A and B are shown apart, each in its own frame.
Chain A
Amino acid sequence: MAKLTFVGGIHPFDGKDMSKDKPIKEVLPKGDLVYPLSQHIGAPATPIVAKGDHVLTGQKIAEASGFVSAPIYATVSGTVKAIEPRRVVTGDNVMSIVVENDGLYGEVLYSGVNSLDDLTREQIINRVKEAGVVGMGGAGFPTFIKLSPKEPEKIEYIIANCAECEPYLTSDYRRILEEPEKLVEGLKIMLHLFPGAQGILAVEDNKPDCIELLKKLTKEDARISVKALKTKYPQGAERQIIYATTGRSINSTMLPADAGCIVDNVDTIVAIYHAVMLGKPLMYRIVTVTGDAIADPRNFIVRIGTNYHELVEEAGGFKEPPVKIVSGGPMMGFGIFDLDVPTTKTASALLCMTQDDVSRMEPGPCINCGKCVEVCPGRVVPRRLADYAEHYNEEAFLAENGMECCECGCCSFVCPAKRPLTQTIKSMRKMQLAKRKKK
C-alpha cells in the first residue's frame, strides 16, 4: 500500500534525537507567573481577579469573553501582583495577569466523574469549554467550538494529530510514549460525542514505537484505527493530515467539518480528557527545550505562565551562546529577541540555535528553479505570489489563490536564492485578512 501522505512538502533536518529519549520532567516555577489574556484565537479573556487577591492552583482568573474565547486558570497558588501589559512570544505587549508564586501549590478541588454516561453531551462540551481548552498544536482555537459543529451527524472522522512534523519537537512523542492511555481515553470522549464517527490516530512513521503502542492499546476498539503517515513536513498541517488520512481535501475557506473531520493535536486531546474526566482545567503543557545551544535538551511538563528563563535553566542553561531563539519549531515558530516571556497554552517548544540561517544567507535573485512549486502543499506558485506581494498587486495575488497559502514555510526553506517567500506572502495575506475584517 502506498504510504499515506500529501503532494509537496520537505525533509528538513529533524533534530529530534537531541531530546526524544529524555522523559518528561516537571518544572516547578520559582519566579512570577504571567498569564496573557490572549493565548487563543478570538476575544481576549476578561480578568475576574484583582491586584492583591489570593489565588489557588486551578482557580479561574479570567473569564471567556464572547463566543470565540477561552478562560484562563492560575497554575500556582499565590497573590495577584499586577494586571498589566507583558511581552509575549510574538513581540506584542499583551494585557496579562501576573501572579506571585507562594510556593505552596495550594489547589482547588476538582469534580471528576467516573463514567462518561454520567454526563450529557452538553455537559461534556461545557466541561471542555470551561476548562479553557484550546488547540495546543499552535493555533489556539477554542476546542469546544470544534466539538460543536453545525451538523454533528456529518462528522465521520475524529483525527488525533500525532504527526509532530515540526523538526526538533518531541513533546507529543513523549506524551504518547508516557501517557498513551490519556490520549486514547480523550479520543474516546470525542467519539462518544459523535457516535457515527471513526477515530484515527495519525502518526508519522518516524515514531514506530508510538504506532506499536497505540495499536496495542486500541486493538479492542473497532472505532479507532492507527494510521502511519509518511514522515514529511508539513504532514501535521490540518488540511494535509485530513487529506493523508481520508483522501478529502479542503481549501482555506472551508472548515475540517466540511470534510466531515475534526482534527486535534495530542496535547489538546489529553487536555480534553483532563477536563471531562477529572474536571481539571488546562494548566499544563509539554514543552521541548532543545537546540544546539542548550546544555541538556529535554521535555518538560510546564505550568502555563512559567517564564522561559526558568525552562532554559532547567535544561542546564546554555552550553554555547545562542544566536537565535525560537518559540515553537523552526518552521512555524516565532523568533524571540529575549527570553523574558511566559509559556502559553500554544507554546510547544523552545529552540535555541547557535547559528541563524536566515541572517547568514543573503537573498539573491530568483532563478525560477521551481522548487517552491514542487514543495508547496497548497499547490500555488509561491514565486509568482511573492512577486505580486512585493509589488502590492492585490488583484493578481488573489486571482492566483494567494490566500490558499498556509504559511508552512516550505518555499522559503527550499529556495536556493534564499528569498523570503513565505514571509512576503504572509505579509500580503495579513493585509488582505485585515481588509476583510474591516468590511
Chain B
Amino acid sequence: MSDLMKVSSNPHVRSKVTTSSIMLAVVIALLPAAGFGIYNFGLDALILIVVTVATTVCTEYAYGKLMNRKTTIGDYSAVVTGLLLALNLPSSAPWWIGVIGGVFAILVVKMLFGGLGQNFMNPALAARCFLLVSFTSIMTNFDCDTYTGATPLAALKSGEGVDILKMVVGRTSGTIGETSMIAIVIGACFLVLLGVIDLRIPGSYIVTFVLFLCLFGGHGVDVAFISAHLAGGGLMLGAFFMATDYVTRPITKAGQYVFGILLGILTGIFRIFGPSAEGVSYAIIIGNLLVPLIEKATLPKAFGFKGGKRA
C-alpha cells in the first residue's frame, strides 16, 4: 500500500506567494522610511524601532507559548506591526512607550481577537491611538536633537509658512517614519510593482482628501497648501501602508473605493475642523470599524447577472 499517491481535490498546484512572503515584502517596503527616520532623527529612532519590533514579536511568541498554540511569528506579521507602530512614534519617546504600545497592539488588538486575520482594527494604529490618549504629552512632543518646535502640519494649521521641499524630502520633525514622502513612496512603488497592494485605496483616499481641501480647506485650489497637506503628517504612510492593511480594509473592489473616499473625507474633517493638526490615524481606525458594513453593501454582481458589465 505504500505505493499509493497523495490525493486531494482540485486544484493541485499553488502559487509561490505566501503570507510570509507578502509580509516580508511589506517589511522591505518600510525600510526606506525607517532608514530615513534613523538618518533624520539619529540613534534614538533606531533604538525605538528595535525595541518596538522586539516587543511585538516577543509578545506574539509568548502568547502562543502560553496558549499552547503553534507560534505564528514565522509569518512576519508581528514584525510589520512593530515596524509600523515604531514609525508612528516620535523619536523623543522613551523606550517603554514602544514596549507598552507593542504589547497593546499584539496582545489586545490582535491576539485576543483570534490572531492574524481576525483583528478588526489595524493593531499598529490602534496602539498609536491608545498611546496618544494615554500619554498625550509624550506622543505629541516632537522636540529632539535635530528639531524643535511644531511639526510642519501644526505650523500650517496655525497659519505659518512651511518649506515644502524639506517636507517632501523629509527633513522636518514628526514621527520617525512619516516625514519623508519620497521614502514612503519608494516603498509603496515596490509594493505596487510586486502586486502586494494596488492603488484603489491610496488613490481614492488621496484624491478625495485633495478635493476636500479644495472645497473646505479655506484656501481654494492652492497648490502649495495642498502639497503641504499631502507631504505633512501621516497621510502618505497611512494611505499606502495602513489603509491598505488587508485584514482591516474591505475585500470587495467597490468597497475599497468607498473605504478610500470615506478616509479622505474623515481625514479632511479632522485636519481642517478638528482641534489637532493630525487626523489620519483616527480616520483609518474609524474606517476600519465600518469595514463589515461597507463590504456587505458592496458585494459584487456575480458573472452573468443582469446589471453586470455587458450582460
Q: Are A and B subunits of one complex?
A: yes
Residues of B within 8 A of A243 (CB): 303, 310
Q: Contact check, A381 vs B300: say whether CB atoms are below 8 A apart.
A: yes
The majority secondary structure among interface residues of chain B is loop
Q: Contact check, A413 vs B22: say whether CB atoms are below 8 A apart.
A: no
A331–B249 Cα gap in the complex (Å)?
Answer: 30
Q: Contact check, B300 vs A379: say whether CB atoms are below 8 A apart.
A: yes
Q: Is B42 on the interface with A (CB-CB < 8 A)?
A: no
A357–B6 Cα gap in the complex (Å)?
Answer: 11
Q: Contact check, B303 vs A404: say whether CB atoms are below 8 A apart.
A: yes
Q: Contact check, B308 vs A331: say whether CB atoms are below 8 A apart.
A: no
A324–B249 Cα gap in the complex (Å)?
Answer: 38
- Which residue of the partner chain, among A251, A325, A353, A416, contacts B304 with CB atoms under 8 Å? A251
A335–B251 Cα gap in the complex (Å)?
Answer: 31
Q: Is B11 on the interface with A (CB-CB < 8 A)?
A: yes
Q: Is B44 on the interface with A (CB-CB < 8 A)?
A: no
Per-position binary interface string of chain A over residues 232-249, scored 1 when its CB falls under 8 Å from any chain B CB and 0 otherwise? 000000010001000111
| Most chain B Cβ neighbours within 10 Å, of A361, A415, A416, A426 | A416
- Which residue of the partner chain, among A326, A331, A365, A379, contacts B118 with CB atoms under 8 Å? A365
Q: Contact check, B6 vs A416: say whether CB atoms are below 8 A apart.
A: no
The majority secondary structure among interface residues of chain A is loop
State whether A364 and B251 are in contact (beta carbons under 8 Å apart), knowing that A91-B7, A370-B246, A422-B10 are contacts in the complex.
Answer: no
| Most chain A Cβ neighbours within 10 Å, of B10, B247, B253 | B10
Q: Contact check, A335 vs B5: say whether CB atoms are below 8 A apart.
A: yes
Please count the residue pairs between chain A and chain B whose beta carbons lie under 8 angstroms apart in the complex.
169
Q: Is A46 on the interface with B (CB-CB < 8 A)?
A: no
Q: Contact check, A358 vs B308: say whether CB atoms are below 8 A apart.
A: no
**Residues of B in contact with A, size category:** 35 or more
Residues of B within 8 A of A374 (CB): 253
A244–B246 Cα gap in the complex (Å)?
Answer: 31
**Residues of A in contact with B, size category:** 35 or more
Q: Is A420 on the interface with B (CB-CB < 8 A)?
A: yes
Residues of A within 8 A of B304 (CB): 239, 249-252, 254, 404
Residue of A nearest to B118 (CB): A365
Residues on A facing B (Cβ under 8 Å)? 7, 10, 12-13, 91, 167, 239, 243, 247-252, 254, 322-326, 328, 330-338, 351, 353, 356-359, 361, 364-371, 373-374, 377-381, 383-384, 400-401, 404, 407, 409, 412-418, 420, 422-423, 426
Q: Which 5 A-B pairs have the closest CB atoms?
A: A251-B304, A409-B11, A335-B7, A401-B302, A357-B14
